Structure 1
Amino acid sequence: MPAAGRHHRGHIVSAGQTLDPNVPGIGLTGCGIISQCLLEGAELAGIPIRAVCDVDREKAARAAQRVGARVRETYEELLADPDIQAVIIALPNDAHYFAALQALDAGKHVFCEKPLTTSAAQSLEVARRAEASGLVFQMGYMKRFNPAFSAVKQRLHQIAPVTTASFRLTVSGDPVLEGPGREPSSWHADIKRAGGGFLVHSGSHLLDLMMFYFGLPEAVWGSLRRDASGNEYTNSFMFRFPDGLYVSLQMVQTRARGLGYAGSTWEEIVEVNGVNGRLAARGADWMGKIPPRATFHPADGEGPRELFTFWESQWAEEMKAFVTGIAEGRCLGSTAADGYRVDYVLEQLKRLENESGALELRYEL
């Protein structure tokens, strides 16, 4: 079974502390909403961004001013900049494929926002090219660096053997449950350009976490429902792993308000049960601004222990991992191969809208 990427906190400095002055020159392509999170992470980690580009010149100018970077007119110009050794791809999902291949062809290390591409076939091609290049290619699955979810990973051995696990996400929103479709307000809401809806945007993160914890599932069954626009607003799946472990994934968009411990619009819960204890992690917003929580219920009878209740930037941690990984010559987060595996599983899950029974998962990498 291919190994998941690993996060080694011991190699990473504290947020706000400047890294080695010989850090690679990093360029950013795409200055939309997600780039603001990544720029914040770079700022907190003391990582300079040297150049940015975007088809929207005003967005590029604002991003450049924020971090003191140069504006490049085109992506090709950014890649040709001799001061740039690594690029952050924060473009719409349907642009990831060509942007990633261009960066690899130019000999640049790559940080690519998720998903890797909008199809498993394209993701497999990029992953193979990334592995052959010898360059660091890290996916933007920042939940591996969320302190609560990371705490669960670090303590899995303490509750082993694991017997059951569940991943649940409930989000307040206004899904089009029935009736005519709606015009997408941006590429993010365009099912074709994004490669999917709720399942791709949020489910991909939970799949990456699941694989980070337990490896690769070998089969899945379940169901999903789409609204008239094609958005997968209700998803319920059961995964089987080679060691006999069964893990559930449930995702739903609802008009309910005041969710979770923070009374927010977001409730994300991961629970792992083992013979020797129980671990649980809870998040209250996708951006990680509200302090997450992690709880350990040990087998010694001392009661639950709160592992994490304060804030730490998942964005800063993943940016530090990217730079540290380049220095060490290895990816310290989700690899391009991990990105392909998530995209492959997503593609199979979409089949469950019309198929019943278990689907065997056969990875090509």
Structure 2
Amino acid sequence: MKPQYGIIGCGNISRFHFEGLRRAGADIIHISDIHESAARPYIEAFGAAYSADYRELIANPQVTVVSVLTSAKFHREICLAALAAGKDVICEKTMANDADEAEEIMRAAEASGQLFFNSYMKRFYPAVQQAKALLPRLGRLFSAQVRAYQRWEGQYYEHTDGSEHQWVLDGYGGAVVKCAGSHMIDMTLHLLGRPESLYANVDFIPGSQIDRKATALFEYADGLVASYETAIHPLDKIGHERDGWDESLEVNGTKGRIQVYTVKWDASEHRPALLVHYDNETGTSTEYRYDAIDPFHVEMQYFHDCLTQRKPGAPNHTDGFYVDVIIAAMMESSRRRASVDLDWRGR
């Protein structure tokens, strides 16, 4: 049976989901947002029903897939309700507000037997997919460096309190780690697997819970250490394309190196991500330059195909849980000023 989509949340991120589903030929039949004005363009484009209360959408017997595009603080409530109603779920990152909520969603998804996908779209860059394929050629991995620097408007380092930026916490439940760094945490897990422990320092605007920079060491059982850093910054012309977007991942092994450079998340259809592979045996470097694509579109097509064929895929509820475990451990490590063993809770 062809999936019938209900979309909850019509904020900034939703336009990428709507367009990706449109390209996939999906049927969007019900849309919910507390602000009808935000939903109206999509209601008219898809001929969908509207409700301000998301519970009416979940109760619609024709909806088979619920796409949760609200801020993370609402994900637990909506995802659990959708799963209890027998719906498949697509959930934007981060999967939940914290690791406990993420575990609850994960276990509910497993118990329900429904399909569940967590939207970490950067896995769908061709450069990232090729990097994954090249990893076995690197030999024994011994180090990695991961960076997620994003230029945000505002004085995040000069202010002595966070009152001006409270909207970030109200909307997302966190600042740079959740909004910018979570994607590269997922990327690290996707390519390197789960670390055993980590040590982190998280820098907050004084007197607030607004994290503006976080640095961590992800420690693996075989001696591999991945150095991770994410930061809000004011620098206009840094990064791969000198546009203030400075996000990359480098993995080093005994037989070579891969480097992935991503591009600004909301302009990917104009500029491609870049992969560089160095092969130590031949002493050559190969650049993989692909046509520009929007990874949201690839991701939505993939999710739609999985839902149509009734087959599981990734990133899923477990992947979303892993990211939230890492974020929680980083905050704990920073508070304790100590390394923290990662509790995967029996996974």
Interval containing the TM-score (normalised by the shorter chain): over 0.9
CA displacement, residues 160-208 of structure 1 (integer Å, 9 cap, x when unaligned):
222211111222233422413224474xx1x255221101112211111
2:276–2:287 Cα contact (<8 Å) kept: yes
Q: Which residue of 2 aligns with 1:5?
A: none
The amino acid of 2:199's aligned partner reads W
User: Which of 201, 224, 228 lines up with 1:245 in the alignment?
Assistant: 224
Structure 1 CA distance, aligned partners of 2:313 and 2:95? Answer: 17
CA contact (8 A) 1:147 1:308 kept: no
2:305: which partner in 1? 324
Match of 1:304, SS state, is: strand
- Paired residues, what number? 341
User: Partner letter of residue 307 of structure 1?
Assistant: Y
Q: CA RMSD in A?
A: 1.8
What residue in structure 2 maps to residue 311 of structure 1?
292
Give TM-score, length-normalised by structure 1: 0.88
Question: Separation in 1 of the partners of 2:240 and 2:46?
Answer: 34
SS of equivalent residue, structure 1 residue 353: helix
Q: Tell me what 2:339 maps to.
A: 358
Q: For 1:238 and 1:261, how far apart are their aligned partners in 2?
A: 23
Match of 1:132 in 2: 111
- Aligned residue runs from structure 1 range 26-65, under 5 A: 26-65=5-44
CA distance in 2, matches of 1:331, 1:205: 21
Structure 2 residue 243 is matched with structure 1 residue 264: yes
Is 1:342 equivalent to 2:323 in the alignment? yes
SS of the aligned residue for 1:334 comes to: coil
SS at match of 1:307: strand
Please tell me whether the aligned partners of residues 139 and 334 of structure 1 are also in contact (alpha carbons under 8 angstroms). yes
Q: Distance in 1 between matches of 2:131 and 2:175?
A: 27
Picking from 148, 161, 164, the partner of 1:180 is: 161
Offset of residue 296 of structure 1:
1.3
CA distance in 1, matches of 2:52, 2:214: 41
Q: Structure 2: which 5+ runs fail to align?
A: none
Which has the higher mean CA deviation after the structures are superposed, 86-95 or 228-237? Answer: 228-237
172-181 vs 343-352, greater mean Cα deviation: 172-181
Please list, as runs of the form range in 1=range in 2, the aligned pairs for 1:80-229 lying within 5 A after superposition. 80-173=59-152, 174-177=154-157, 178-184=159-165, 186=167, 189=168, 191=169, 194-228=172-206, 229=208
Corresponding letter in the other structure for 1:252: A
**Does the 8 Å contact 1:175/1:227 carry over to 2?**
no
Q: Distance in 1 between matches of 2:220 and 2:26?
A: 39
Query: CA-to-partner distance for each residue in 1:214-235, whole Å, 9 max, x for gaps?
Result: 2211100131211134322121
The farther-off stretch of 25-34 and 222-231 is 222-231
Distance 1:65 1:338, change over 3 A: same
**8 Å Cα contact 1:42/1:315 also seen in 2:** no
8 Å contact from structure 1 (residues 89, 100) kept in 2: yes
Query: Counterparts of 1:330 and 1:285 in 2: how far apart (Å)?
Result: 31
Q: CA deviation at 1:298?
A: 1.6
Query: Percent of aligned positions with the same letter in both sequences?
Result: 26
Unpaired runs of 5+ in structure 1?
A: 1-21
Matches of 1:176 and 1:185 in 2, distance apart? 12
Instruction: Write the distance in 1 (CA, Å) between the matches of 2:166 and 2:10.
Output: 17
